[in-house]
A and B are shown apart, each in its own frame.
Chain A
Amino acid sequence: DTGVSQDPRHKITKRGQNVTFRCDPISEHNRLYWYRQTLGQGPEFLTYFQNEAQLEKSRLLSDRFSAERPKGSFSTLEIQRTEQGDSAMYLCASSLSAGSGNTIYFGEGSWLTVV
């Protein structure tokens, strides 16, 4: 499978615990995006990378959230001291380098439930 891969697909955690999600983009895709989606809503932008450089972070991304892409390939999204409001699906997407018209492909998402 050469699509965007996310792991784990589902995670249940207790409030206050830390969780980490991993995203493997499509090979040779330089752009990598993280989004969050709650039920009945469209995906909300969190952050994105060009290679290893983090270009922008949404104000939705509190200090408890951190994303990295250390080698410009896979990326991790860590949530510290999880809260019930963090329960959502976390989506990763990738595309070729910047430029209009580069199709953006999404993974199947990582579901987080904070209990």
Chain B
Amino acid sequence: GESVGLHLPTLSVQEGDNSIINCAYSNSASDYFIWYKQESGKGPQFIIDIRSNMDKRQGQRVTVLLNKTVKHLSLQIAATQPGDSAVYFCAEIYPNDKIIFGKGTRLHILP
């Protein structure tokens, strides 16, 4: 079906540590993926994207890994900060450009 799932609904991480958020996607024909960050009461904010011809992409403090063999995505956040507290969604873009989201992982930063 049309679903993108996340393995952990809540992730608690010590401030300064690295965070890893995982995601499984369903459509092997999808060739573009986006990670979004959503803070309370706001719309999803683009973080980083990756196309299916890549297996890794790095941004500022964030890295996305793509494993097409097992249809798995991960978002790594280095040196997690309090401002990283949010819900993170992976989104799978179908060949017809429809965006399918998972339920999200809430990242909680411990002081």
Contact = CB atoms under 8 A, between A and B. Distances in A.
Contact of A42 (B45, B98, B104): B104
A104 B34 contact: yes
A100 B43 contact: no
18 contacts: A40-B103, A42-B101, A43-B44, A43-B89, A45-B98, A45-B100, A48-B98, A55-B96, A95-B97, A100-B31, A100-B32, A100-B93, A103-B34, A104-B91, A104-B99, A106-B45, A106-B46, A108-B42
Interface of A: 4, 6, 31, 33, 35, 40-45, 48, 55-56, 91, 93, 95, 98-101, 103-109
Interface of B: 2, 4, 31-32, 34, 36, 42-46, 49, 51-52, 89, 91, 93, 96-104
Given A45-B99, A93-B99, 14 more contacts: A4-B43, A40-B103, A45-B100, A48-B98, A56-B98, A95-B97, A98-B97, A100-B51, A103-B49, A104-B34, A104-B99, A105-B46, A106-B36, A109-B43
